[in-house]
Structure 1
Amino acid sequence: MLWARRAPSLARRGAPWGWARSAASGANSGQPSPESRADSKYRETVLLPRSGFPAQLPGRLQPEAEVELQQKCGFSELYSWQRQRNIKNEFCLHDGPPYANGDPHVGHALNKILKDITNRFHMMRGYKVHYVPGWDCHGLPIELKALSELKETQNLSPMEIRQRAKEFAERAIEKQKSAFIRWGIMADWANCYRTFDRKYEAKQLSIFHKMYDKGYIYQDYKPVFWSPSANTGLAEAELEYNQQHVSRSVYIKFPLLKTPPKLASVIAGCSTVGLLIWTTQPWTIPANQAICYMPDSDYSIVKCANTGECYILAANRVESTAAILDTQFEVISTCKGVDLENGSCAHPTITGKESPFLPANHVTMAKGTGLVHTAPAHGMEDYSVALHHQLPMDCLVDEGGFFTEAAGPELQNKAVLEEGNEAVIQMLQAAKSLLKEEKCVHSYPYDWRTKKPVIIRASKQWFVNTANIKVTAQELLKKVKFIPASAVNRMLEMLDRRTYWCISRQRSWGVPIPVFYHKTTGESLINSEIIENVIKIVEQHGSDAWWTLPVEQLLPRKIAAKVDSHDVLDYVQGQDVLDIWFDSGTSWAHVLEGADQRADLYLEGKDQLGGWFQSSLLTSVATRKKAPYKTLVVHGFTLGEKGEKMSKSIGNVVDPDVVINGGQDHSKEPPYGADVLRWWVAESNVFTDVLIGPAVLSAAKDDINKLRNTLRFMLGNMADFNPETDSIPSSEMYVIDQYMLHLLQDYAKKVTEAYKEYDYGKVIRLLQAFHTRDLSNFYFSIIKDRLYCEEEKDPKRRSCQTALVEALDVVVRSFAPILPHLAEEVFQFLPYKKESESVFRSGWINTNSVWKKPGLEEVVEAACAMRDSFLGSIAGKNALEHEVVIVIDPGLLFELMETLQSEESSSVSQLNEIMMASQTTLLSELPIEMATDENIIKGTFLINLEGGDIREESSYKVIVLPAAKAKCLRCRKYTADSPLSLCPRCTEVMAGK
């Protein structure tokens, strides 16, 4: 129908929707026709929609309108308002702290908006939301960025570094906070937590204290992931793996020195024998202490066709290794790995050094030679072997990744990953031990901040013994709800692989490990009293005190005296700081309230399965044997539109500020406002990686505009309606209006369940299906005639207005957590609200159980089946130009249709309204004059009532005829007696006007 079209001139003035255009004949002749003059005469009598709510805002106005709404609707006060409510039920979402080292990006937007949707939903449902936003403020990346702003950094003291780093973190926090507020994130922004706050640091050290007292924290000399580019140890969570890393892999022979007794007779005939080794890290060869084999695997003694030398290697690696070395191996004998026992070989580059053969379960047969070069200072499994067999664990590499003096003059001061690697290869070649060098492309760990390769290097560090915690942690984790459910297995696997956690870092910017070292012996001094004293000082002065106060204040004499006879001044403060994962992993102790101190939800990206989720779990389990969370929601990362990583060089980086306010060229980067950003987050499948780009954002904008049109229609048809005085009881409403309430209740139930499951993509799908299919395409098209052309206060019109009020309320509340700006904007335009009330202060969707009526679906859906038959037969034509005859044999289906039309023929019945024809005739038998198959559409409908107790399939016939009467000049139905008169319905409405 034309009613919903908007005349452009009227639209500019904020006037009602457009009505009928002039008849074509009158427009062409320059003189209005009689019909056109009549159109004009009755135009003002039609009750067209009226609302100032815009169908869409020009892009440049959208950001301004949102900021104005935030101020007008009290966005900044909403969190404190809901906290003050007298409500028992509380929902706690513990905010994982974003890193305070840069500008806000779309990854922040994805995370913070997901959290905000969650919090707003729970708040509307009547929960008191506990959400304290926070920032992770310590660590190397902040330190490096802060120092990069300075020209000279060599001679800076720890306190100068700390001051610079803190200032940098504070600036980053303010930038991010402003962005989060602009996105509409509900929180108490005046009371956030920051990991450099002294109360936070003191609480963190108290967790360290508890873990130390329970024996979980210890100091040891072990191999750890080490970043030469950052001069510090790293935890596994601080690694990222480069799948395209290229290593210089080598095949080496270790000359047999001591023949294993069980192989003496076999090897006796060989002139020279060597063990074949393959490694991707040649620089570790100088640190070799042993060769490991798999006891139960088969090994072969082979003779090389090229050189005549004999080699030992795994039996199933013979052919592949020979091919790589471009030779052929003749198998002389095969034995079990255990037969290598008590043998040894000579070190290829260090004269006089012997490397024993040792059994080990970590030896793999998938690649290499089945014999593993073992350097305890540079490998986790190697370290375990060395510990068991009491091998030396000397590290020949310093903190910068350079060979030390102990490595010898040929290697000293050479970077192990560069010229040091080359030097070792040259030494192997000179010793005639290098059989092959080739490039190996493989996955290799990089420092996630400096983006440079790491090494494994033994050093003295502080550790958490996770081996003694993880069994309990894994059991508790199985009781946590994971969304998606598959994430629990990934986290359990990560925990299983973690035998210890290195928590010390060799930096200045962080919370100090409260330990003192003897100046002469280097022995460490730490106990409960020392830790307690440091906690009190940090609580009062912050962690800067570790570097500013004298040692005698940090380590009181009475405490030192209890330990040994040394003087306090014989000690110096340790310079290591705690791993930032320990910083953030203790946030539950500072932020969560109540005796239980457990959050209902942690919601973060998938990288936190090995990061914050894990460090929080380990610290909580170690100190109180419970998980700090009940549910974990894990989302993916943000990628470009084609699924590629975002990169400035590619030019696909999406800046949230540009999304909201537009770029320099609005034709290329239009301003969308925050709600488009929020829609993108909600509609995405966040449980995988999430794509964003111009096409995605433009589509989101279009989707919101379609929703705005639906909302505008409902608002426009409420201008003369007051729900308190004009509503119709549901039992007296038109059946189609009752059916809409029925659909509303079903929609509300499904939407609520989707929110509960954190499936916001499903919420969007339900919303789009409901507002486009059920409302715009179906319901609105049916009720327009009744809305526009019935008398203003007629109960028939009030009936559909009652349904529209309920539909608008349900729909707006259903998307309010996702689109808070749009929801509040709609509430500003409600014509029946005396004082504009915030949608968020008035609760969740409120439906009525009486809306769900047995049999209602059968009545409407049966009528709609016949309607579809009718409309399908006149595709592209005006339904009002036709009459419909429906023939149904006597029975249940006929009785159902009679509830919609009691008389035989009608142009104003509920059945005719659904059919959208000018007149509908309902018959129980086919008239003789119509008994021709040419115009008859046949169909069947299955009635299913009372849970299947009543089932009846009935057939029907639909006959479509041209309308017999003239078009009414007011309502456009073909129900008038003459071209210049009104139909009986419009005549009655116009009586006295």
Structure 2
Amino acid sequence: MRWGLRSRGPGAAAVAVARSRWGPPWSPRLPPVRAASGAGDLAASPDRGRYRDTVLLPRTAFPMRLPGRRQPDTELEIQQKCGFSELYSWQRERKVKTEFCLHDGPPYANGDPHVGHALNKILKDIANRYHMMRGSKIHFVPGWDCHGLPIEIKVLSELGGKAQNLSVMEIREKARSFAQAAIEKQKSAFIRWGIMADWNNCYYTFDGKYEAKQLRLFYQMYDKGLVYRSYKPVFWSPSSRTALAEAELEYNPEHASRSVYVTFPLRTPPLKLASLLDGAAPVSVLVWTTQPWTVPANQAVCYSPQSRYAVVKCSTSGDRYIVAADKVTSLASTLDTTFEVISTFSGIDLEGGACGHPLIPDKVSPLLPATHVTVAQGTGLVHTAPAHGMEDYGVAAQHSLPVDCSVDEGGIFTAAAGPELESKAVLEEGTDEVIKMLQSVKSLLKEETLIHSYPYDWRTKQPVIIRASKQWFVKISDIKPAAQEALKTVKFIPATALNTMADMLERRPYWCISRQRAWGVPIPVFHHRARDECLISSQTVEHIAKLVEQHGSDVWWTLPPEQLLPKEVLSQLGGPDGLEYLPGQDILDIWFDSGTSWSCVLPGAEQRADLYLEGRDQLGGWFQSSLLTSIAARKKAPFRTVMVHGFTLGEKGEKMSKSLGNVLDPDVIISGGQDQIAEPPYGVDVLRWWVAASNIFTEVTLGPSALSAARDDINKLRNTLRFLLGNVAGFTPETDSVPVDSMYLIDQYMLHLLQGLASKVTDAYKQYDFGKVVRLLQAFYTRELSNFYFSIIKDRLYCEKEDDPKRRSCQTALAQILDVLVRAFAPILPHLAEEVFQHLPYGTEPKSVFRTGWISTSSIWKKPGLEEAVESACAMRDSFLGSIPGRNAAEYEVTIVIEPGLLFEIIEMLQAEETSSASQLSELTMASQCTLLAQEPRQRPADVTELAGTFLIDLEGGDIREECSYKVLVTRATKEKCPRCWRHTAELAGALCPRCAGVVGGA
């Protein structure tokens, strides 16, 4: 039977007040324990010499706090004593049916460990430890991303001017040493954070075996036609002198561009407009661009066939221009003039027209239709330079326009740009010169500064350009449909991340995977000395892969070309003396590097991870490159679930930076700084609690107040654990436990709540909602335990005989609570969990929470009817406690009057006799005596306080609904105070109450 009870009396309003005033156990702020029973305050009693030794106070060596260095020092001891370093290997050797695979996205090996690393690695470790405790074998191989531009730039910048004279191999050797040093620093930190892994078997993208698999996967994609070489415009970093992928860009919203309005004289009128323009004054096409330096490379002017255009006459100069009809008014305002509209026409009527190039005499720029042209900005006509624009390149391909690039790797105009521009940087003096040239030929109508979002190199923080060059690409268009379908089968946490990743994938035109640097995996292709030919085959790539597998990718630069080719291929090419092919100098994009990690790390033929867990920037980075390479190779995603977290910020939501002085070093958080008053040692469990408690799906803030709050939370938890440990002293679960049905109802009620907690915590872990786990635990150990249960059971624990069934009932509940609680927070706070296990007063083997499984509960704990019974009594209790704020409940007697019916039957479960000082109802109310009546007493003391209320009892299903009235009558206790238990239950002053007399006399 399930009782649905709703209080309508004053008791419900007093619940929060009454519970909060009892505080956590053994807290410095706790009022004397007499509020519950008085026994806990015996140290202050004049009779302490007489009865102190008869009271069963908690006994445990588990400390309430670990101040100063004791916290980090204890954690290190726990790691040693409990075998943290062997735990991963131990669990791999278990014979279990299920496996949980979390594929570690490789952190970049170019710096010290930081709080972003801590957020990521701790989240992964919580997930792994939970699944391990649930009985799964964990597959988790830590890895590092070791190649690429950021490491190379860091190494070269440290060398200064000496860097210019380094050979490729010298750069590679220094980059490798730098990466190895960073890996060791990070690995040491991850171990200190308690991250469970086999740290002797990690994966590194500069390992020969890893590189060889990557080369084989590259060829597999090439052989399918998914990788090709082409001359195309790509994002190019002049500061890094290499092509970049979109994932290597960051956008500066405050970039200032010099935008210009430029005229292109109409040389060949479109056929449909010939009669309109014939014999009239000259007409120019007006364009707008934010990249003036690209005007010399112009090959066409594009228009929108669907838009309307106008021929306008400028009132200031009398010149005539063609512009979008919708832009006439705004353009006139921008140019500080007025326009007279001569005529309007459809964009399609511009077909067949051509303009003269403003800077190159006799060069023709045809008018061409294009779908990317809009009238949202500019003039409705778009200057088109195929070498410097993705969409421009598409127009060039469709209309067979030249894609000539006169800008070199450093962003400098070459001789092909002409003597006026040669050797000038396109984003600096080159732009100045182009604008001057436009002014000199009177093609510049206006220049203005535009502040807008513009792509920058993610490492040098310098602006990039779009520049045509020969690069290697992945044919995204062939992979995209299958990738989009595969994403539909993947669970994303949070769900909105799916849309973000799908949108990024949809907008991605192609993936440039070649880089013009030294530190990386070579693209295994040979180029002909004289002809634009490439040599690549399954034979050549497999030969190179075997060499790389044995010796690493350095062989590409250290071995002569003839040794890089298999003998049969070499003989076909004329032998060593006749070889006309040289190894290419491009390396693979590091996103291809790390994106192929699934093929090197994931186990078995299925090779799919249960979870990928990284920061949200990886939606366009590692998540996407992993998906694309996996789809290309085997038409399925490498992950079943993708979890995305935010970035770490300072306490006020500001970005962490050295200049602001808000960068927090995890090592300083854990071990303390030089000034341990200003930077105290918190230990790693505080860091782990902060991670778990944070809303990780937004930006995660961290600062002194957040760390202090996390420490306070853990100290409250320690306080609860100490109470539990102290009160199961002398209790052996195997022999002393009381069967559930024989336990006190309040103890059964706590097991009922405990089962609910275990179920909710388990479900939250399943959903990777670690913040919910923290909230559930906090609510339980604060509200249900410290503020409620502990406050009412102290008399039973401290003052009953040690082996009294009532006390053993309570200890049975406490032991179960302790076990569930410790297992519930163990994945988050592994050091504290193991510390508790070391202090258990009864034996468990092995003495490790992680080697003994997950939470274990029993279905017989679930008793919803009991829950309603206890909670209805709690409402009456809280009415009583709310009427005596700040007073000792043991100084009062309570009479509860309930009209006959369901509610009376429910409360009668807690007190069968009419009046009692030892009933479960008197324990629950904490009064010295309780009386339960079906009608009001005929006589009342003059000082009685009367409280009234009603309950709506709703039996399950709503078949029976009954509103029951109750009254709570509160009077001062009539009996004397017992010097042992401090309850007013003694017949004579100074004498023991009957219960205490029996315990002491029988001791």
Shorter-chain TM-score category? over 0.9
Distance 2:803 2:705 in 1: 46
- Alpha-carbon contact 2:242-2:517 (below 8 Å) kept: yes
- Alpha-carbon contact 2:43-2:52 (below 8 Å) kept: no
Give 2:344's aligned amino acid: T
Give 2:805's aligned amino acid: P
| Counterpart selection for 1:382 from 382, 392, 396 | 392
- Alpha-carbon contact 2:24-2:719 (below 8 Å) kept: no
Tell me which residue corresponds to 1:20.
41
Tell me which residue corresponds to 1:238.
248
Distance 1:979 1:267 in 2: 120
Residue correspondence of structure 1 range 213-232 to structure 2 within 5 A: 213-232=223-242
Tell me which residue corresponds to 1:546.
556
Distance 1:969 1:932 in 2: 28
Deviation at 1:566, TM superposition (A): 10
Instruction: Please tell me whether residue 126 in structure 1 is matched to residue 135 in structure 2.
Output: yes
| Counterpart selection for 1:721 from 731, 738, 744 | 731
Aligned length: 973
Tell me which residue corresponds to 1:624.
634
Distance 1:155 1:652 in 2: 38
Deviation at 1:279, TM superposition (A): 1.2
Distance 1:834 1:763 in 2: 26
Distance 1:398 1:497 in 2: 28
Tell me which residue corresponds to 2:483.
473
Distance 1:442 1:541 in 2: 48
Give 2:590's aligned amino acid: I
- Alpha-carbon contact 1:3-1:20 (below 8 Å) kept: no
Report the secondary structure of 1:887's partner residue: strand
Tell me which residue corresponds to 1:766.
776
Name which of structure 1's ranges 358-367 and 621-630 shifts more when overlaid on structure 2.
358-367
Instruction: Please tell me whether residue 330 in structure 1 is matched to residue 351 in structure 2.
Output: no
Instruction: Please tell me whether residue 595 in structure 1 is matched to residue 616 in structure 2.
Output: no
Instruction: Please tell me whether residue 803 in structure 1 is matched to residue 824 in structure 2.
Output: no
Tell me which residue corresponds to 2:202.
192
Distance 1:966 1:267 in 2: 116
- Alpha-carbon contact 2:944-2:969 (below 8 Å) kept: no
Q: Deviations over 1:441-485 (max 9, x none)?
A: 111111111111111100001111011011001101111111111
Instruction: Please tell me whether residue 57 in structure 1 is matched to residue 78 in structure 2.
Output: no
Tell me which residue corresponds to 1:711.
721
Report the secondary structure of 2:102's partner residue: strand
Instruction: Please tell me whether residue 965 in structure 1 is matched to residue 975 in structure 2.
Output: yes
Deviation at 1:942, TM superposition (A): 2.6
Q: What TM-score comes out, normalization by structure 1 length?
A: 0.96
Deviation at 1:949, TM superposition (A): 4.1
Deviation at 1:564, TM superposition (A): 8.7
Tell me which residue corresponds to 2:52.
43
Name which of structure 1's ranges 476-485 and 142-151 shifts more when overlaid on structure 2.
142-151
Deviation at 1:4, TM superposition (A): 4.8
Q: 1:348 to 1:564 in 2, by over 3 A?
A: farther
Tell me which residue corresponds to 2:523.
513
Tell me which residue corresponds to 2:888.
878
Tell me which residue corresponds to 1:370.
380
Tell me which residue corresponds to 2:473.
463
Give 1:101's aligned amino acid: N
Instruction: Please tell me whether residue 822 in structure 1 is matched to residue 832 in structure 2.
Output: yes
Instruction: Please tell me whether residue 107 in structure 1 is matched to residue 128 in structure 2.
Output: no
Q: 1:2 to 1:487 in 2, by over 3 A?
A: closer
Tell me which residue corresponds to 2:215.
205
Distance 2:838 2:57 in 1: 21
Q: Deviations over 1:321-342 (max 9, x none)?
A: 2222122222222221111111
| Counterpart selection for 1:157 from 156, 167, 190 | 167
Q: 1:3 to 1:146 in 2, by over 3 A?
A: closer
Q: 1:170 to 1:3 in 2, by over 3 A?
A: closer
Distance 2:844 2:98 in 1: 31
Deviation at 1:654, TM superposition (A): 1.3
Instruction: Please tell me whether residue 297 in structure 1 is matched to residue 297 in structure 2.
Output: no
Aligned-residue identity in percent: 70
Structure 1 gaps, min length 5: 9-16, 24-35
Q: 1:562 to 1:474 in 2, by over 3 A?
A: farther
Report the secondary structure of 2:165's partner residue: coil
Report the secondary structure of 2:100's partner residue: strand
- Alpha-carbon contact 2:539-2:566 (below 8 Å) kept: no
Tell me which residue corresponds to 1:12.
none
| Counterpart selection for 1:282 from 274, 292, 316 | 292
Report the secondary structure of 1:939's partner residue: strand
Residue correspondence of structure 1 range 480-559 to structure 2 within 5 A: 480-556=490-566, 558-559=568-569
Deviation at 1:77, TM superposition (A): 0.2
Name which of structure 1's ranges 554-563 and 515-524 shifts more when overlaid on structure 2.
554-563
Instruction: Please tell me whether residue 312 in structure 1 is matched to residue 333 in structure 2.
Output: no
Deviation at 1:825, TM superposition (A): 0.6
Distance 2:402 2:464 in 1: 23
Name which of structure 1's ranges 891-900 and 321-330 shifts more when overlaid on structure 2.
321-330
Tell me which residue corresponds to 1:26.
none
Deviation at 1:244, TM superposition (A): 1.2
Instruction: Please tell me whether residue 635 in structure 1 is matched to residue 645 in structure 2.
Output: yes
Distance 1:263 1:960 in 2: 102
Deviation at 1:521, TM superposition (A): 2.2
Q: Deviations over 1:267-314 (max 9, x none)?
A: 347523222211111111111111111110122222222212122111
Deviation at 1:946, TM superposition (A): 3.9
- Alpha-carbon contact 1:2-1:19 (below 8 Å) kept: no
| Counterpart selection for 1:920 from 930, 935, 938 | 930
Tell me which residue corresponds to 2:6.
none
Distance 1:69 1:655 in 2: 23
Tell me which residue corresponds to 2:921.
911
Q: 1:338 to 1:834 in 2, by over 3 A?
A: closer
Report the secondary structure of 1:240's partner residue: strand
Instruction: Please tell me whether residue 141 in structure 1 is matched to residue 150 in structure 2.
Output: yes
Distance 2:217 2:333 in 1: 56
Deviation at 1:440, TM superposition (A): 1.0
Structure 2 gaps, min length 5: 1-21, 30-37
Distance 2:342 2:738 in 1: 98
Instruction: Please tell me whether residue 356 in structure 1 is matched to residue 385 in structure 2.
Output: no
Q: 1:6 to 1:968 in 2, by over 3 A?
A: farther
Deviation at 1:111, TM superposition (A): 0.6
Name which of structure 1's ranges 728-737 and 941-950 shifts more when overlaid on structure 2.
941-950
Deviation at 1:934, TM superposition (A): 8.1
- Alpha-carbon contact 1:256-1:346 (below 8 Å) kept: yes
Distance 1:747 1:577 in 2: 54
Q: Deviations over 1:725-753 (max 9, x none)?
A: 11111100000000000000000000011
Q: 1:423 to 1:721 in 2, by over 3 A?
A: same
Report the secondary structure of 2:541's partner residue: helix
Q: What TM-score comes out, normalization by structure 2 length?
A: 0.95
- Alpha-carbon contact 1:2-1:20 (below 8 Å) kept: no
Distance 2:961 2:68 in 1: 54
Distance 2:225 2:989 in 1: 97
Give 1:126's aligned amino acid: G
Q: Deviations over 1:829-857 (max 9, x none)?
A: 11112666110000000001100024111
Deviation at 1:261, TM superposition (A): 2.1
Deviation at 1:88, TM superposition (A): 1.7
Give 2:46's aligned amino acid: R
Q: Deviations over 1:379-401 (max 9, x none)?
A: 11110011001100001110011
Residue correspondence of structure 1 range 76-95 to structure 2 within 5 A: 76-95=85-104
Deviation at 1:569, TM superposition (A): 2.5
Give 1:48's aligned amino acid: L
Report the secondary structure of 2:164's partner residue: coil
Q: 1:3 to 1:972 in 2, by over 3 A?
A: farther
Distance 1:810 1:602 in 2: 29
Distance 2:39 2:260 in 1: 81
